[in-house]
A = this chain, B = another copy of it.
Amino acid sequence: MDIDPEILFRALGDTTRQRCLVLLQQEGELCVCELTHALDAAQPKISRHLAHLREAGLVSDRREGLWIHYRLNPALPEWVRTVLRATAEGVAGHPPFASDKAALSRMPDRPFSRDWA
């Protein structure tokens, strides 16, 4: 799989998309309503940014009933994974990324249990 670096970094160049990617990296798989809640953002906004990430090849999606689960695209080249990992580690402690994770874990009635160490 090949990723155009211009498309990659333009996709990374928006805070909303960064926050989604960092959460996906930390949580593995999330549906739109979880991201919407974690970021406290309007649903169409999240949906459109996820579409952007999907078109850039960064995430893949999987439907399960009403829900659509997003995850990092498993076919990403290693250097892109390194970029995403370094970024997630670099920003994890700073706002708004730290509170996103907290908000997600506080979400009531999460549609799926995602128990993985």
Contact = CB atoms under 8 A, between A and B. Distances in A.
Nearest to A10: B13
Contacts of A6: 13-15, 18
A107 interface: no
A80 interface: yes
| Identical copies of this chain, number | 2
Interface in A1-58: 5-6, 9-10, 12-15, 18
Contacts of A9: 9-10, 12-13, 18
Interface string A64-94: 0000000000000111101100110111000
Nearest to A18: B5
19 contacts: A5-B18, A5-B91, A6-B13, A6-B18, A9-B10, A9-B12, A9-B13, A9-B18, A12-B13, A77-B90, A79-B86, A79-B89, A79-B90, A80-B86, A82-B83, A82-B86, A82-B90, A83-B83, A86-B86
